[in-house]
Amino acid sequence: MTHHKDSQLTSPLTSSLTMTQMSNWQSYIEQKVGFVLPTRQEHWLHRAILAVAKNNAMSVDALFAAVQTDEQMWQQVIATVLIPESRFFRHIETLNYISQCADDSMGSCRVWSVGCANGQEIWSLAMVMQADNHRFELWGSDVNKAAIEYATHGRYAIRYLQEIPEQYHHFALKSEQEKSSRYWYMSDRLRDSVQFFQHNIFSEPLPSLPKMNVILCQNVLIYFRQFDQRDILFRLVQQLEVGGYLVLAPGEASFWQHPQMRRIRHSAVNVWQKIDSNNNLF
Ligand SMILES: C[S@@+](CC[C@H](N)C(=O)[O-])C[C@H]1O[C@@H](n2cnc3c(N)ncnc32)[C@H](O)[C@@H]1O
């Protein structure tokens, strides 16, 4: 291996990325997806890069060169670095709040979950909306292609049933051929109203979707710099119907203000409502 002046001697890391390599990877990832790993989690990025390089029998530098042009290789890095961490019914108050908002929607309630990971959040919402007899259309998007495939498949290991309140278990089906399987599938009643697509909220234009009654973006913005959070939120406002709601995870973007949005005081849900249709305020 080449020995760089700034290699392991000065790096807190113990294996084989130099500080220059780490910094190049961090800059590249930030430039592509806006994602900034906190310093205390740098070892995670370090391990992830080494793992992808090893799986492809490549040096770290060869991998760095490859991701610039090879989308499939880039997706491998994304899938390893951006942890699609989620849970079913992660924040039940948010789900119930959205279901109440659906009472006010004319026709079917449209919800977009930005950074939906492996789909647990949107499938949980589908269960609640269906159980509450709402008409709804749900979209989930994520930059991680593998996560979107997982979410679309709608197949989860039995252990995840523990996260789902029993009253919703009838939406989790075992296929006839796989009675003994350790997996269950999302019921067709939900699948008809749920779609997933790959989308990078940091660098791509807004997708061609109808205006939403609710946009959910939970546990995503924490990884972005504050000015990037502002840009993303600004664009999400454009995708909302007037009267629609933007829901973040508790504590997120508490600094944020926008002339078209009013913050709703709620003890458990971090939510803003769009009150103005004028998109030319800036
Ligand atoms: C911690 S998960 C949150 C999942 C879910 N929203 C929840 O709260 O359970 C964050 C997700 O944001 C996604 N993400 C990160 N940067 C993104 C970007 N630029 N565009 C779209 N999704 C992104 C990651 O791939 C990851 O799946």
Same domain, 62 and 171: no
Is 280 domain-assigned? no
Of 258, 197, 269, 200, the C-alpha closest to 233 is 258
Q: How confident is the model at residue 13 (pLDDT cuts 50, 70, 90)?
A: very low
Report the separation in Å between the CA atom of 76 and the middle of ligand 1, taken as the mean of its atom positions.
15
Report the separation in Å between the CA atom of 209 and the middle of ligand 1, taken as the mean of its atom positions.
19
Question: What is the count of structural domains for the chain?
Answer: 2
Same domain, 126 and 261: yes
Report the separation in Å between the CA atom of 233 and the middle of ligand 1, taken as the mean of its atom positions.
14
Same domain, 114 and 250: yes
Residue nearest to atom 5 of ligand 1 (CA): 116
Same domain, 75 and 96: no
With a CB cutoff of 8 Å and minimum separation 6, the contacts of 154 are: 119, 123, 185, 186, 190, 191
Report the separation in Å between the CA atom of 201 and the middle of ligand 1, taken as the mean of its atom positions.
9
Express each pLDDT in 210-244 by its tens digit: 999 999 999 999 989 999 999 999 999 999 999 99
Residue that terminates a domain, selected from 81, 112, 127: 81
Express each pLDDT in 93-106 by its tens digit: 999 999 999 987 77
Same domain, 239 and 133: yes
Same domain, 174 and 214: yes
What confidence score (pLDDT) does residue 178 get? 64
Q: Residue 188 above 70 pLDDT? A: yes
Give the torsion through C-alpha atoms of 74, 77, 79, 83, to 10 deg.
-140
Same domain, 70 and 106: no
Q: Is the CB of 220 under 6 A from ligand 1?
A: yes
Q: Is the CB of 124 under 6 A from ligand 1?
A: no
Instruction: Find the domain containing 235 and state its range.
Output: 92-274
Same domain, 60 and 149: no
Express each pLDDT in 194-211 by its tens digit: 999 999 999 999 999 999
